[in-house]
Structure 1
Amino acid sequence: MNDLENHAQLPVKAGVTYPLAKYTHPLKQLDIQIIYDSMIQDDNVLLLVIFGSTVNMVCHSNSDIDIYVELRDYNNIPAIPDNVLSDVDLIYDISKTSGIYRSIDRDGIILFDRR
């Protein structure tokens, strides 16, 4: 995660302050900001990673936001705020040997890590 050499730097929209925003697609930055603000306040969320089309140049207005989280308690899954306009695919509790985890590990952008 955070191998930033392979990621393009993109313009950051006004009001977007989350770490490494310049590596996420501007079409999704405002929604990611809302998600980030919610998750950073949730002590159950240990790790927040953005991956998939949001961190590469194939993102478009109908793309979903792919998020991977690691949690203290997997019985308490965080909710995505209602004011997020994009569809969100929240991934958690997956095997570190799975293909999706390898993709996250290769291309993901860590927004915070409290592990």
Structure 2
Amino acid sequence: YTGGTVLHIFMGEEAPDRDGCKLLVKRVFERSRLPYVTITPTFSICEDHGYIRGKQRNCPRCGKETEIYSRIVGYYRPVQDWNAGKREEFEERAFYDRRIQEILA
């Protein structure tokens, strides 16, 4: 395999705890021949209240608009700063929240 072979797991807001992440990575490598995996929870940042789990366009505490962060080509950036094509790709991503919970069970 080359560095171009990677499984991107977009978790939405349901990122498992540390032990769950360890188990997920272990099972991916035990059950596949993939050499690389990324686990990408999406999160939002409120200017006043900080970190918020998942894709929240507005802060649930104060209602202010937030910045939504996700991974793009290996690093986290605010989605609003992505080019139009990458923003569209973000909106079309399949999130694995429930399937991951089944794998970890």
Task: Please tell me the TM-score bracket, short chain as reference.
Answer: 0.3 to 0.5
**Per residue, is there more helix in 1 or in 2?**
2
Q: Which has the larger radius of gyration?
A: 2
Structure with bigger RCO (C-alpha 8 Å, 6+ apart): 1
